[in-house]
Amino acid sequence: MERFAQPEFAVTVSSRRWSCILDPLLAVTSPLGPTLVQALSQVVDLWMTASFWRILDSSEFYAKKPAALTFCTAQAAKQETALALHIWEQIRTRTDAASCRFHWVGDSYTQSSLSETAPPDLVRRFELLHEALQMRTHESGRQDRGVHPEAHHAALETVALAACLSPIFILTRGAHGDGVPPLAAMLEQCHIHAQQVCAEDALAVIERDSWRRALVSAGLAKLRWSGLQLAILHVLAPSAQLLSTPFDHMLAGADMIAAAEDIDVADDENDRCTPAVQAACWSDATAYWYAL
């Protein structure tokens, strides 16, 4: 019987770089934060919030009052925060924002550094989600009075940005033992349940292993050996997609990019996000976290 040659098939799977939001409080309260930012930005698409820059702009104040940025009252934690801020000051004298290898959302489109794939309405959508989180915190009356406003804003901004850029990871500070990460505890104050993922969960095992490989690839294994506690947090907020911005009613393409640069969308009369929609956007939100 005649044999027919079987064609050879080659399957190539290309995995794109992961996107990650680095909790700004992790970056500025640990002396290892600057190393983490600089190295991690080489292996993932790294995002930060405006809180990071606001804290650095007031680094002299926070260096004298480091307790304003840390959820830990131990003296060692305060000393670490002060040292981290001094390190960032030295880095800023040698580099500028334009040379940073990460993206961030500022107070406007022109004050942000967005990726090429970021949606044109990202800044406005971020503002609305952040405002809604603030309202939930105020309504609950559960805000920790011992937490400085900037630390509180940093946490809420991180979570709001995650809802805008989903799917994305949040890399935040972990806790020792069976403790809950500070960012997860902050979400509970906003009536958003933060659930710990079982260590034996099959998907969590795969994801955790991938993150550990990423840290090794970035040369960051030593940070874990030093005792730095890290955690990964996911934000799931389906109703956040209900938010409507002026860009939802415009043509896609270059015109939207130009409009984002020229229009103050916060005051645009076409903004159709009603208070009811804004209030409901976090109604079904949940967070999931696991220690790294």
Closest C-alpha among 19, 33, 17 to residue 230: 33
CA–CA dist 259, 264 (Å, integer): 9
What pTM did the predictor assign?
0.83
Average pLDDT estimate for 146-173? 87
Query: Which pLDDT score is estimated for 140?
Result: 58
Given a cut of 60, is residue 230 above it in pLDDT? yes
CA–CA dist 266, 210 (Å, integer): 39
Tell me the per-residue pLDDT of 26-52, one tens digit each, with 9 for 90 and over.
999 999 999 999 999 999 999 999 999
Query: Which pLDDT score is estimated for 31?
Result: 93
In this structure, the dihedral spanned by the alpha carbons of residues 267, 268, 273 and 275, taken in order and rounded to 10 degrees, is 30
Count of residues in the chain? 292
Given a cut of 50, is residue 139 above it in pLDDT? yes
Between 253 and 226, residue with greater pLDDT: 226
Given a cut of 90, is residue 136 above it in pLDDT? no
CB distance 197 to 290 below 8 Å: yes
CA–CA dist 171, 160 (Å, integer): 14
Encoded tokens for 259: 């409009």
